[in-house]
Structure 1
């Protein structure tokens, strides 16, 4: 059964560079990404195609496998963040795949502290997110006195949040999708935080 199409996120960067490397107007472009709806990879799909069909995958390797097996037209991988540096897990998966980078776009990254309804900043002791997001907000989290816990993806951290003493570092779109409150906005340690994403094809 084909995965259901996911909605376009409300926030994001302007699309730049040239037209998508795959797909036509007659057919939606299936783009695999690692994470869950509300992830930055999910948002980046709209930078590469005007009407994509994003498909969530548990790992970067799984997203690339969909391209190799022709069950997706392309995959989106985060390549490098302006604060935290290269995304080594994604780059290793790409190197092992034998696939090619067709196009790249830079996406502004705003990371917010998301909590369950009823939780306050005083209740929190742990921030949960992908390791790259935690690195991008290391000083801010230290200032707030929060310990950290790794998750497979920013949106997965938001989706799976069940404890009132924990918060997720994720996007505004993730807060809306999973019914969470934003307790603090823009925890990234430097202005102009951005991640370069690659569109990977056969």
Structure 2
């Protein structure tokens, strides 16, 4: 069985895919719309999308994607989300001049980011930001799984503002399947 998710290995959606379908083949897609289309077209049997974060609220655009009559939501689960500040090995926090991540992750960490006083920039996905990190003056907000997957160091753990930070994910399939 195949399950589609947005991003790259180490993305929170990748972790959710493994939670919903342990032992199945998780396939990364470039964005949320591509995940929905993969399931609707039959390129993947299942898909997983983040619906709502306890701190940042609704994930923009997801409700419209799941309203597609070609798709059927079959399960929803809440997954704890721990967001960490990652950098290349050997980089110190005072070297960081910009922090990149998905907009929803940036919103989950808004207070801690403000306290650091470091400018932010948006990325398409937390794990994609981690996978493409190649500058010593940049850090990313992502999962510990992303740190492991891409050989990054954890500069600061638990950057999320809410200690009970969690995201509700939807598992869906092609309607009628």
TM-score range, shorter chain: over 0.9
Residue number in structure 2 paired with 1:155: 127
Shift of the alpha carbon at 1:92? 2.5
Name the count of aligned residue pairs: 174
SS in 2 for 1:162: coil
Residue number in structure 1 paired with 2:56: 84
Q: Do the aligned partners of 1:31 and 1:75 also contact (CA within 8 Å) in 2?
A: yes
Q: Do the aligned partners of 1:75 and 1:200 also contact (CA within 8 Å) in 2?
A: yes
TM-score scaled to structure 2, two decimals?
0.95
CA–CA distance in structure 2, aligned partners of residues 100 and 192 of structure 1: 29
TM-score scaled to structure 1, two decimals?
0.83
SS in 2 for 1:88: coil
Is the counterpart of residue 180 in structure 1 residue 136 in structure 2?
no
Residue number in structure 1 paired with 2:169: 197
Is the counterpart of residue 171 in structure 1 residue 148 in structure 2?
no
SS in 2 for 1:36: coil
Is the counterpart of residue 113 in structure 1 residue 100 in structure 2?
no
Q: Give the direction of change, closer, same or farther, for the CA distance of 1:117–1:190 in structure 2 (3 Å limit).
A: same
Shift of the alpha carbon at 1:162? 1.1
Gaps of 5+ in 2: none
Shift of the alpha carbon at 1:200? 1.1
Is the counterpart of residue 49 in structure 1 residue 14 in structure 2?
no
Determine which structure has greater relative contact order: mean sequence separation of CA pairs < 8 Å that are 6+ residues apart, divided by chain length: 2
CA–CA distance in structure 1, aligned partners of residues 154 and 139 of structure 2: 9
Q: Do the aligned partners of 1:47 and 1:105 also contact (CA within 8 Å) in 2?
A: no
Deviations 1:107-158 (A, max 9, x none): 1000000001121100012110000000000000110111110001000010
